[in-house]
């Protein structure tokens, strides 16, 4: 363990083996930092934060600050960061509110680039990438391996599906389905994220079925209900199709098209 003499570490903080705390960083009460994690200079990690193993937190990032929510009344809440996640310069990650379940969660192996913002009660799956200055409103859900482009704003309570990719400078006000490409202000869909799916080693058969489902849902004259009925009768119930269908059926804000 290496703690720079100018760093301030609360007595109740729990630091794992091999943790490095850089100059002028502040580690608050009841903070837990896992083995092998590196905290650079001028980082602030406030009370109620759990950081997993082998993370890298770069200068001037702020983790666990109070929610930017007028309903927040100082209740205890948490920010949880999964192992292997990288948080770059000046990123801000707020802890949660009691109304949102008390936990803001960032999964394993995520990349939160410079100036990105993760608001209260957000839940990010494993392998999510937020590019520079991507901004999430409160209660946003992003499923595993989705990518949000730089300077993109995501409205509170929106969901972004697994393996979706969103182009830079977009405005997201409705749910983005899994496996697709989206871009624009306001965002619209631009086909299946075929390149991303191949890079993640999705079977060619699954990609073919997803293309068929995409055509029924977004390129036909069918209503969503009619498209879902056709998918149920014409396509195999593979895991990817089941997930896409479930995501659309459970949307509360509506689906980007």
Among 120, 139, 163, 243, the active-site one is 120
What domains can be seen in the chain, in order of their start residue? 2-139 (2.160.10.10), 197-249 (1.20.1180.10)
Q: Are strands 111-112 and 129-130 parallel, antiparallel or unpaired?
A: parallel
Neighbouring C-beta atoms of residue 130, cutoff 10 Å: 30
Q: Cβ neighbours of residue 231 under 8 Å, at least 6 residues apart?
A: 213, 216, 217, 241, 245
Select which of 22, 28, 137, 138 is catalytic: 138
Active site residue 138: yes
pLDDT in tens, 198-252: 999 999 999 999 999 999 999 999 999 999 999 999 999 999 999 999 999 999 9
User: What mean pLDDT value characterizes the chain?
Assistant: 98
Clarify whether 120 is annotated catalytic. Answer: yes
Q: Across residues 166-190, what is the average pLDDT?
A: 98
C-alpha 60/C-alpha 44 separation (Å) is 7
Q: What is the tens place of the pLDDT at every residue in 141-165?
A: 999 999 999 999 999 999 999 999 9
Altogether, the residues listed in the chain come to a count of 257
- The pLDDT value given to residue 83: 98
- The catalytic residue among 34, 121, 123, 137 is 121
Helix H segments across 3-63?
Answer: none
Task: Note if 221 is an active site residue.
Answer: no
């Amino acid at each position: 363990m290496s703690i720079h003499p100018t760093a301030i570490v609360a007595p109740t903080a729990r630091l794992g083996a091999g943790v490095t705390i850089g100059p002028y960083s502040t580690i608050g009460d009841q903070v837990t930092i896992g083995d092998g994690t590196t905290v650079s200079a001028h980082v602030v990690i406030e009370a109620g934060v759990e950081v997993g193993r082998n993370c890298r937190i770069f200068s001037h990032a702020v983790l666990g600050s109070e929610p930017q929510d007028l309903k927040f009344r100082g209740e205890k809440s948490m920010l949880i960061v999964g192992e292997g996640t990288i948080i770059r310069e000046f990123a801000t990650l707020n802890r949660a509110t009691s109304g949102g379940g008390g936990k803001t969660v960032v999964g394993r192996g995520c990349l939160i680039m410079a100036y990105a913002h993760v608001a209260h009660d957000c839940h990010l799956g494993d392998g999510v990438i937020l590019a520079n200055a991507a901004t999430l409103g409160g209660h946003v859900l992003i499923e595993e391996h989705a990518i949000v482009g730089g300077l993109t704003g995501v409205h509170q309570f929106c969901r972004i599906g697994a393996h979706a990719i969103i182009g830079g400078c977009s405005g997201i006000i409705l749910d983005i389905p899994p496996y697709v490409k989206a871009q624009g202000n306001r965002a619209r869909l631009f086909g299946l994220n075929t390149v991303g799916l191949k890079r993640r080693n999705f079977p060619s058969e699954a990609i073919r079925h997803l293309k068929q489902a995409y055509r029924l849902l977004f390129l036909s004259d069918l209503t969503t209900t009619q498209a879902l009925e056709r998918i149920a009768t014409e396509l195999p119930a593979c895991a990817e199709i089941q997930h896409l269908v479930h995501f659309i059926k459970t949307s509360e804000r509506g689906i980007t098209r």
